Amino acid sequence: MTRRDFLSTTPAAALTLTGGTGAAQTPGAASRQLYELRRYRIRTGYMRDTTRAYLKDALLPALTRLGLGPVGMFDVTTGEPPTCVVLIPHATADSAVTLGRRLMSDAAYVKAGAPFLDAPADRPAFDRVESALLLAFEGMPQIKAPDTSKPRLLEIRRYEAPSQMAGLKKIEMFDTGGELAIFRKVGLTPVFFGQTLYGVRLPQFEYMLTYANMAEREQQWNAFRNDPDWKVLSQKEEYKDAAIMSGATSTYLSPQPWSQI
């Protein structure tokens, strides 16, 4: 697929995937962001050191110069193999598609990132990089960054669906069905919700929550499970997990010291 093909098909694909109608956006409503979610898979100590130095000294400053942010940079603690996770928000599909070219046009980025960008074959900086493009939910169209001055634990949850329509139904459950409102009522704090347009294990979506610590996480999820509105919502025939979900995974993250999320 060419860049022109991608840009011409992405808006229509996004509307189809999210059940959109093409109607004009509500005046004053925030535009829905696109999120690039990268996972840098690393296997050895020098991979971790090289990748972290690249993220801190090359990528984050370059993204800032491009006006992109807030950018999240995290280390996986549990739930996945050793990984650095990067979350980059974009206002448009063009921003996401052209990011690589714009970065490589930045001399300061290329210089600072040289040990990572030009790592030798016998000492690579990573095992593989996995990247996905997500479209923000209508109910939460933009990233909400937590207070980065406080200690925090982050969790990425991935929900997989058995079919395209089932996946849309689960998104509906959050967007207009009331699940997102229940999250907020019981104290769960989302950072983003995004449907994966391009990536692996489709159809699926991912979202991120932030907590002060694991004890707070358990307290809030217990409150959610016991909430009377959730009990009613989850028992609706159209929203039962067995019909609209085929899998769910959680990954716990610690923010890198320079993360903006």
Residue 261 lies in a domain: no
- Could you give the number of structural domains in the chain? 1
Question: What is the model's pLDDT at position 145?
Answer: 97
Is this structure's pTM higher than 0.75?
Answer: yes
> How sure is the predictor about 203, in pLDDT bands with cuts at 50, 70 and 90?
very high
In the chain, the DSSP E strands lie at: 34-41, 72-78, 83-90, 128-136, 153-160, 189-198, 204-211, 247-255
> Counting runs of H as helices and runs of E as strands, what totals does the chain give?
11, 8
Domain that holds residue 98: 3-7+30-255
Q: Is residue 76 part of a domain?
A: yes
Residue 222: inside a domain:
yes
Statement: residue 198 has pLDDT above 70:
yes
Residue 49 covered by a domain? yes
Q: Are 116 and 125 within 8 A, CB to CB?
A: yes
Instruction: Express each pLDDT in 63-92 by its tens digit.
Output: 999 999 999 999 999 999 999 999 999 999
Q: Does a structural domain hold residue 160?
A: yes
| pLDDT computed for residue 22 by the predictor | 34
Residue at 91 is within a domain: yes
Assigned domain for 260 exists: no
What integer pLDDT is reported at residue 9 of this predicted model?
39
Over 90: is that where the pLDDT of 240 sits? Answer: yes
Give the mean pLDDT of the chain: 91
- The CATH number for 71's domain is 3.30.70.100
Q: Is 159 among the domain residues?
A: yes
